[in-house]
Structure 1
């Protein structure tokens, strides 16, 4: 069989990674763009989403689709509320100072991680997908009788993986509409542009910060709920999403949503293709090298703006 089918298979796996990574990284980018807060605990909000999804699915029983549908709504809401409370009780008290918020979110990371270990345990636990039909993918090959369609063995995906890609695209479109076409988005962008001016015009900046922090965490949790039927819920699963999200946000441009999505697609697809043909470790090394090159030659990222 030619290289083409293998490349398509690797690209599909990469597209799933890119979809989940885009959701997670957009949440991180929103928090930094509006609040200028580097949220080190972002990966733990991702992990919480997966663990809560497992708990809901395990408690509901019945058809897997019922528990998953409930988890898809409830888990991001719970994580979002936890993030809002963390903002009001921790970040607000350090006045959103960049250095102190880094230390504060590192502490929040360990608190969430250890509480999850104490209550959930160290085991990795799966969540059953609501549907998981195997879909074969055709390939076209030129033979003695001209072009013909073949069905190579092993070339296929599942209906759930395609649904993950579609769901992530829909949510990202919703976030874009929220930020560009609604009053709430206008308030967020005004706060991002000039905090003091926003305060002068009567915008409740601290409430905006709390809601943005909660929204960023909810997006990470939603990404985790989507991916947990493919992976497994584990109390240490937040490390890789956090690292990749930082890579994506730096490459795309700090605070730039279009840049973040584009960088997530590039990193996700390259990670899937390189992992299939070479190794996952090499994919992470190349992504980190790309960050270094961006920081040297274009510090503001692909879509970011240079600050004077």
Structure 2
């Protein structure tokens, strides 16, 4: 097979990674942008979403799509509620102090991880996709009679992977619409701009913080539910999403949602292409190197501002 078809396949795989990474990283960026809290436990909220999806799909009999649809709604809500409780019982008592909240969320990370290990177990477990039709992919090349389409052997993807990309695009557009077009988004942006001034105008800042923390965790859980039929639910699966989310947020600019999405696409596509042609380890090395270059030459990130 020529290089072109392989590159298209790698790009599709990278697009799936980018879609899930964008959802996860936007949740992390939203929390930092509004609350100025670096949530080290963000990856564990991702992991909880996958584990809850596994439990729900196993508990609900019938067609796999039924259990998966329930998990797609219930898992983000449960994880979001847990995050709200954590905010009200831990972060609020620390007055959202940046240094102390980092230590607190590290502790929350280990609590969630070990409780999941004790209840769920150490095994990685698969979740059946609601649909998973294998789709052959066409390729075009110039021949004696001009441009012709043919079907290279082995060049294919699945309908579910394409659905993951589409679902992520819809959800990201929804987040943008919420932030830009709704009263909730206006309140969140006002709190982000000036906490004291927002409080003086009667905005319940602590309730806004709890809501934002819950939305950020819910987005991570949603991303996990989408990706768990492709991967497997495991109590240690939160480490990679957390690392990649931090890489994306640093490159895009802390608190910048457009920058986060662009950086997620960049990192996701490069991870998919480099992993196919070289190795996943090289992809992580290059991503980390890119973070170093951004921190040296543009510390505020590609889309951030020096005031952030």
TM-score category by the smaller chain? over 0.9
1:178 aligned onto 2:178: yes
The Cα offsets for residues 12-37 of structure 1, whole Å up to 9 and x where unpaired, read as 00000000000000000000000000
The separation in 2 between residues aligned to 1:21 and 1:260, in whole angstroms, is 10
The Cα offsets for residues 133-166 of structure 1, whole Å up to 9 and x where unpaired, read as 0111101122233322110011111000000000
The separation in 1 between residues aligned to 2:211 and 2:270, in whole angstroms, is 33
Which residue of 1 is the match for residue 150 of structure 2?
Answer: 150
The Cα offsets for residues 228-284 of structure 1, whole Å up to 9 and x where unpaired, read as 000000000000000000000000000000000000000000000000000000000
Q: Where do residues 46-195 of structure 1 align in structure 2 (5 Å cutoff)?
A: 46-195=46-195
Which residue of 2 is the match for residue 236 of structure 1?
Answer: 236
Is there any run of 5+ residues in structure 2 with no aligned partner, and where? none
TM-score by length of 2: 0.99
Q: Could you say what the CA RMSD is over the residues aligned between the two structures, in angstroms?
A: 0.7
Which residue of 1 is the match for residue 17 of structure 2?
Answer: 17
Which residue of 2 is the match for residue 227 of structure 1?
Answer: 227
Q: Where do residues 238-257 of structure 1 align in structure 2 (5 Å cutoff)?
A: 238-257=238-257
1:94 partner SS: coil
1:261 aligned onto 2:261: yes
1:264 partner SS: helix
The separation in 2 between residues aligned to 1:181 and 1:147, in whole angstroms, is 45
Which residue of 2 is the match for residue 275 of structure 1?
Answer: 275
The separation in 2 between residues aligned to 1:127 and 1:21, in whole angstroms, is 19
2:92 partner SS: helix
- 4+ long deviations beyond 3 Å: none
The separation in 2 between residues aligned to 1:279 and 1:217, in whole angstroms, is 30
Which residue of 2 is the match for residue 288 of structure 1?
Answer: 288
Is there any run of 5+ residues in structure 1 with no aligned partner, and where? none
The separation in 2 between residues aligned to 1:177 and 1:146, in whole angstroms, is 45
TM-score by length of 1: 0.99
Which residue of 2 is the match for residue 2 of structure 1?
Answer: 2
